[in-house]
Structures are given as structure tokens and as C-alpha cells.
């Protein structure tokens, strides 16, 4: 069987736009009838997803698979690192956790040991699809990490894939980033750097063209497109550690409410927040205003408080208490004002936590709002449950070590409800449209708001629109003929070496 072609989308920095460009290329290709799959050899993220075979992968790769209109699998993200602190991460290999490692331990040898698995996954995808679009991580010019790299130039060199480097011009310095990224690579790596893609440009592109011409003269490499700044994409983010407390979830323009009132949702920005994408479906509802908060006074006007998932439930509890948020949440519950806990947030709302796995803190009291006791098990629960709640069909996914012993309350998905306090381990449940509407109607009643859920909001349709927008950006603003030539034929020949190259 002949192997499919491919391309690696690298970036000058983290958050340069690699994830959305990869998704956009996947959507553009599948609309041309190309069978395409996304791939990221190693991903560091607290936002993850469970595939149908029960494997945990990065949410960005699940989103890219949706862009490619294929079912996500562990092959698309064989190594996932889930930070537990600034110095250590849980290593998830082929969708299953295999241990906790310090950064020194991982980069000191464990990473390179996984290289064979990563290459095998890529080769299996190449044997199945016409094209594989790989996403890099951080920058390929992280010269301190190059020796053991399995996600940027290491994988590009193994597969002989051409590399397109994406730069975020909105932050400034993009020409220096393009040149410096190339000039810090070894000659063998520079041979694969086919060119550049400018992302998030605002203004008249003709003003940029002299710089692009100079960059071509300096590097011998062309720019394959200038993508305009696109508002309101709402695409899954990779890293919950970098979430901004700027008072909004998305930049998208929210439609006016159907009823007389808006509904205000406050999401507690707990440490190691994971799968904060759970609230995206709320933010997509007309008249629902979602913001992240870290002070108790910010809960005062909230109609619903969400305690989200976290990779550190005990640490999140301590943070809630230190900041006075715990007391504010308890007062809300006593007043009958709505609170929702998801996964780690659900565990925090319970009576008691026994943790010898995640924090190793032993017995820790919860907030006592739900009749639930949680014991952390060494094995991680990874599941794709489905069921009914509030008279509506619901689907979700579970990623947790905590095992909940529910001892009362009304059943609510896998958790329970007491008064206006709900708790569940299910991520993604609010993406089920009927259930979300029914839940928001109950929240509005409990909050005394004349809010009416829109009858026709489809989260799935909105996500498809966003992915089509990404495909449009590539199709309309990138040289797609040149990109397809790279995918099919590999890196151009005769690319010049840019001094000084990688340090010896």
C-alpha cells in the first residue's frame, strides 16, 4: 500500500495558531474529497477528550478530526502530557495513563523512548489516509529540547515531511521569528522548512508584501499565505493553565436573549483547570453571559456558578477556601441559588475526599453541598456515557481518578442534585442541545430570571460553522495549490542554509 503524503504545521511560538491552521487545512482538504487525518505526536494539555475506544487524547486533535470528518483515535495523539504542577505531568500513552514524570525525567530519556511509538502511529495513519496533517508543539527552534524531540523536526525528519511555520503577527515581531526559527535549526532540519504562514493579520496586506519579499530574499523561502484575524472562532484551546481572566470566554458576538433577562454564568478559574471547554456550549446560547472569576465578589450577580474540572481537586479546594470563594459558594447553596460542579468540581462539592493518588493528601473535607464521598483510585475512568436527564437525551465523556459514592439527593447523570446544586463527572453534557435548554430553564427559575433558552440553538451546527470558517481561511487566503504540492511531493529541493544553524 502506498503511503499518504503529509505536512507539518510548526509555530514560531506556543499559541501562534498551529491548532486552528491544522484544522483549517484538514477541513479544506476534506472538502476537496481528500481523505485526511490530523496528527500530533506529543501534546501537553489539560483539555482532553475520550475516543469511542476509550482512549484519552487532546481536545485539539479531536476537534481537528471533526474538521477532517473522521472519528478521532489514539493514533492521532499517541502521547499526551497532563500537567499536575509546574514540574511534573501525567504521561498518557496511546490513550492510557502510564505514570507521573518530572519534566527532567521525561526530557531526560523517557521522551526519546516513545519516539518509535509516535512514528509507528504516523505511519499507520499514512497507510490509511491520502494525507496526514501534523501539528507541532511550541517552537521547533527550542534548541535545548531538540535532541529528544518527537513532535516537531524529529517527526518531520523521520517522515520527510515539509514544514510550514506559522507566526502570529498580531503579537508583533513575526519576521524576526520566522528568520530566527529557521536560522537556529541544523542543516538537515532547515532542508524541511518549506516556508511560512502569517496568522492573525489586521489591515491592508499590500503593506506587508515588502516584508514578505525581504524574508524570501533572506531565507530563500516563500510565504504561503496571510490569514486575516478572525473573530469568534470559539475553537477548543489546548492549555487550561493559560486561560485568561479577562471576563469573557469568547470574542464572539452573543445574540440577544429570547426572554426578558440575560443569564450570568461565573466559572471559578481553579488551578489546573481542565476541560473548561464544557462551558462553551453555555456561551453559545443567546442571552447567556459566561465569564471566568477568581474573587468571591464576582459571584454576587451570577445566576449560575460553575466549579469546573481540574487535575488537582484537593489543590482546587484549598484555592477556593483561600480566596473566600468556598464560603461564597456555600452561602449561595443555602440561599437556593444555582451551582454546578463538573468532574473535579463535582468532587469538591461533596462531603469528603480520600486522595492517595493525585495529591496524596489523604482525607480532605469537601464543601459538603452534595451527599457524595470520593475515593481516588489508581486506575483512571475513561468512558463515553449516554443517558437521560431532565427528560432529555444526554451524551458526555468521563476522565477522572475519583470514584464517587453518591449517598442521596436526586439522581443527575452519574451524580446527584440537592436543591439548586448539581454535580456530575460527565464532561460535554451541555453540548446536548435539549438537555442544555432544560438545564438552563431550571437555572433561570431557581435564579428568578425571566430568561428563556433559544429553541433552535444547535451547538453541533455552530461548531461545524466554525470549522468551515477555518477551511475558508485556508482556501481564500493561502496558496492551496502550493500547499497541496508540498503534501504530495514533499519539501522543495535546493533550499538555502541560513547561518548560524543549530549550536553544536
Q: Write down the residue that cell numbers 498551529 correspond to.
A: 18
DSSP state of 362: E
Helices (H), 68-204: 103-105, 111-113, 115-128, 153-159, 174-183, 187-190
Phi-psi region of 293 (alpha: psi -120 to 50; beta: other; left: phi over 0): beta
- Are 309 and 278 contacting, i.e. CB atoms less than 8 angstroms apart? yes
Q: Given the residues 343, 400, 425, 477, select the one marked as catalytic.
A: 343
Q: Are 344 and 301 in contact (CB under 8 A)?
A: no
Please give the helix or strand (H or E) that residue 318 lies within, else none: helix 313-322
Measured CA to CA, the distance from residue 67 to residue 76 in angstroms comes to 13
CB-count exposure of residue 357 (10 Å: 0-12, 13-18, 19+):
middle
Handedness of CA 93, 431, 417, 344 (dihedral sign): positive
Selected catalytic residue, list 400, 401, 425, 427: 427
Q: Which of 491, 471, 464, 485 lies closest to 21 in space, CA to CA? A: 471
Q: Where are the alpha helices (DSSP H) in 170-240?
A: 174-183, 187-190, 209-219
- Are the C-beta atoms of residues 410 and 418 closer than 8 Å to each other? yes
CB atoms within 10 A of CB 21: 24
Interatomic CA distance for residues 269 and 430, integer angstroms: 19
d(CA 355, CA 348): 12
* Contact criterion met (CB below 8 Å) for 464 and 476: no
Given the DSSP bridges, would you call strands 309-310 and 352-355 parallel, antiparallel or unpaired? unpaired
Catalytic, 425? Answer no
User: If we measure between CA atoms, which residue out of 110, 103, 112, 135 comes closest to residue 122?
Assistant: 135
For the chain, state the CA radius of gyration. Answer: 23
How many Å apart are CA 95 and CA 238, to the nearest integer? 17
343 is catalytic: yes
Beta strand 288-293 pairing with 273-274: unpaired
Q: Which residues are catalytic?
A: 343, 427
Amino acid at each position: 500500500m502506498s503511503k499518504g503524503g503529509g505536512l507539518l504545521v510548526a509555530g514560531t511560538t506556543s499559541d501562534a495558531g498551529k491548532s486552528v491552521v491544522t484544522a483549517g487545512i484538514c477541513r479544506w482538504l476534506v472538502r476537496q474529497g481528500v481523505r485526511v487525518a490530523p496528527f500530533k505526536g506529543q501534546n501537553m494539555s489539560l483539555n482532553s477528550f475520550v475516543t469511542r475506544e476509550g482512549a484519552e487524547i487532546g481536545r485539539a486533535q479531536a476537534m481537528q478530526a471533526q474538521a477532517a470528518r473522521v472519528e478521532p483515535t489514539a493514533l492521532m495523539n499517541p502521547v499526551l502530557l497532563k500537567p499536575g504542577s509546574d514540574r511534573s505531568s501525567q504521561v498518557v500513552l496511546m490513550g492510557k495513563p502510564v505514570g507521573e514524570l518530572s519534566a527532567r525525567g521525561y526530557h531526560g530519556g523517557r521522551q526519546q523512548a516513545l519516539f518509535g511509538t509516535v512514528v509507528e502511529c504516523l505511519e499507520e495513519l499514512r497507510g490509511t489516509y491520502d494525507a496526514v496533517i501534523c501539528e507541532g508543539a511550541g517552537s521547533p527552534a527550542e534548541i535545548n529540547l531538540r535532541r529528544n524531540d518527537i513532535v516537531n523536526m524529529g517527526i518531520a525528519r523521520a517522515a520527510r515531511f515539509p514544514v510550514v511555520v506559522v507566526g502570529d503577527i498580531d503579537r508583533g515581531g513575526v519576521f524576526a521569528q520566522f528568520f530566527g526559527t529557521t536560522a537556529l535549526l541544523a542543516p538537515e532540519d532547515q532542508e524541511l522548512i518549506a516556508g511560512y504562514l502569517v496568522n492573525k493579520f489586521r489591515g491592508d496586506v499590500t503593506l506587508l508584501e515588502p516584508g514578505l519579499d525581504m524574508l524570501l530574499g533572506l531565507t530563500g523561502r516563500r510565504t504561503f499565505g496571510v490569514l486575516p484575524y478572525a473573530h469568534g472562532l470559539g475553537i477548543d484551546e489546548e492549555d487550561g493553565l493559560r486561560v485568561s481572566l479577562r471576563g469573557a470566554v469568547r470574542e464572539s458576538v452573543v445574540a440577544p436573549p429570547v426572554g426578558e433577562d440575560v443569564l450570568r454564568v461565573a466559572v471559578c478559574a481553579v488551578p489546573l483547570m481542565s476541560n473548561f471547554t464544557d462551558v462553551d456550549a453555555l456561551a453559545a446560547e443567546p442571552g447567556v453571559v459566561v465569564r471566568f472569576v477568581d474573587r468571591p465578589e464576582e459571584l454576587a450577580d451570577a445566576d449560575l456558578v460553575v466549579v469546573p474540572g481540574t487535575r488537582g481537586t484537593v489543590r482546587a479546594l484549598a484555592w477556593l477556601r483561600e480566596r473566600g470563594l468556598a464560603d461564597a459558594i456555600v452561602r449561595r447553596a443555602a440561599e437556593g441559588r444555582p451551582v454546578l460542579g463538573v468532574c473535579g468540581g463535582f468532587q469538591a462539592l461533596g462531603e469528603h475526599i480520600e486522595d492517595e493518588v493525585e495529591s496524596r493528601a489523604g482525607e480532605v473535607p469537601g464543601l459538603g453541598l452534595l451527599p457524595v464521598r470520593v475515593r481516588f483510585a489508581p486506575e483512571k475512568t475513561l468512558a463515553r456515557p449516554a443517558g437521560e436527564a431532565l427528560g432529555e437525551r444526554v451524551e458526555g465523556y468521563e476522565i477522572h481518578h475519583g470514584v464517587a459514592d453518591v449517598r442521596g439527593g436526586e439522581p443527575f447523570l452519574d451524580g446527584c442534585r440537592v436543591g439548586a446544586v448539581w454535580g456530575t463527572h460527565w464532561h460535554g453534557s451541555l453540548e446536548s442541545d435539549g438537555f442544555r435548554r432544560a438545564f438552563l430553564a431550571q437555572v433561570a427559575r431557581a435564579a428568578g430570571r425571566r430568561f428563556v433558552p433559544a429553541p433552535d440553538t444547535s451547538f453541533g451546527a455552530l461548531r461545524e460553522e466554525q470549522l468551515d470558517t477555518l477551511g475558508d481561511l485556508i482556501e481564500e487566503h493561502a496558496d492551496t495549490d502550493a500547499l497541496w504540492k508540498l503534501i504530495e511531493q514533499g519539501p522543495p529541493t535546493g533550499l538555502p542554509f541560513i547561518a548560524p544553524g543549530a549550536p553544536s
